[in-house]
Amino acid sequence: MLSQADLTSFLEPVLLSIKISVIASVAVLLLGTSAAWWMTRTRWFGKTVVETVFMLPLVLPPTVVGFLLLVALGRRSWLGRLAEGWFDRTIIFTWWAGVIAAVVVAFPLVYQTMKSGLSSINPDYANAARSSGASEWQVLRWITLPLAARSLVSAYILGFARGLGEFGATLMVAGNIPGRTQTVPTAIYVAVESGDMSQAWSWTAMIVLLSFAMLYIVRSRA
């Protein structure tokens, strides 16, 4: 029988991971969809370079992504100073840093999923709507997004799952503060280091089952 303290220590990183993943997945879905919509509609010099930058977090080591975020959001950067001026504190070593890390590492998956979905839509539908007087916003709202609904769901789930499992970048920019920034992946790491294998197995089983369920949903909709 778990004590109240044991239950609290188990649930804290779980709930924080879910909170971070929910916020990050919504943010990255908006960013990834916007970027994919823009890239599928335009042609310009340097587009391939920009797309390569978009995909970099997929192949870079998480510690490299974390280091770059640490530099970009630290107190010596203009972004860090701007955020500190707004919130009266640094973003580094807060759970919001975990959200940013999750957005960055999940962006390539969401972007590529949405790009494939948007590219598969017959452009004649959008052109017919435009010829009938529809604005670009109306085309996007009533034609493009409904036709890309399956890709939207898949992109969201993949973004959520990727954010849920993020470890390296999160550890570098958010740290591992129990009750404040400790997520399930970092909690598992600490549990294994300290020899608490039962706790590590509990968190591992939870995140494996949750990830399996989300990926099963994606595969079943393919």
Specify the number of domains making up the chain. 1
pTM over 0.75: yes
* Position 198 in a domain: yes
Distances (CA, A) of 68 to 43, 63, 127, 188: 29, 9, 42, 24
Identify the domain containing residue 75 by its residue range. 4-121+148-221
**Does some domain include residue 204?**
yes
Residues 6+ apart with CB under 8 A from 67: 172
Of 70, 143, 141, 138, give the one whose Cα is nearest residue 104.
Answer: 70
Which pair of structure tokens corresponds to residue 206?
């939870």
Mind listing the pLDDT tens digit of every residue in the chain (222 residues)? Answer: 556 666 778 889 999 999 999 999 999 999 999 999 999 888 888 889 999 999 999 999 999 999 999 999 887 888 878 877 777 778 889 999 999 999 999 999 999 999 999 988 888 888 888 888 888 888 888 888 889 988 999 899 999 999 998 999 999 999 898 889 999 999 999 999 999 898 899 999 988 988 888 888 777 765
Of 198, 178, 167, the residue nearest 101 (C-alpha): 167
Residue 64 lies in a domain: yes
DSSP 32: H
83 lies in some domain: yes
Domain membership of residue 97 (yes or no) is yes
Say which CATH number the domain at 90 has.
1.10.3720.10
Q: Say if 129 falls within a structural domain.
A: no
Q: Let me know if residue 160 belongs to a domain.
A: yes
In a domain, 141, yes or no: no
Count of alpha carbons within 13 angstroms of residue 78, beta-carbon side: 0
